[in-house]
Amino acid sequence: MFILTKIAGQGAYGMVISAKNKEITGDEDNLVAIKKIERAFEHRIFTKRTLRELKIMRLCNHENVNPFMGRYLIV
């Protein structure tokens, strides 16, 4: 699981939280970003926007972008 460290940013659709992954050892390797998306499935357009963003994140391969590790859905 994760240890939440701080809020990295907040916008109109949710917030990004900096956290440490307890399952990975090492100082640099265990840092992750968690995005909490508010009302992702409230309207059809929100759902499309959320799925589009997830697809783009999975395809990103850059040293400044954390690799997409998975998703969790809390309803």
Chain segment 16-31, per-residue pLDDT in tens: 999 888 887 766 667 8
Is 6's pLDDT higher than 90? yes
Return the number of other C-beta atoms located less than 10 Å from residue 57's C-beta: 15
- The sheet with strand 14-21 has its strands ordered as 2-10, 14-21, 31-37
**Placement of tokens 């998975």 in the chain:** 70
pLDDT confidence of residue 64: 76
Per-domain boundaries in the chain: 2-59
Around 64, how many Cα atoms within 13 Å sit in the side-chain half-sphere? Answer: 0
Residue type at 64 in one-letter notation:
N
Which two structure tokens, joined as six digits, stand for 33?
């970003």
Chain segment 22-73, per-residue pLDDT in tens: 887 766 667 888 888 888 888 999 889 888 888 888 888 888 777 777 766 6
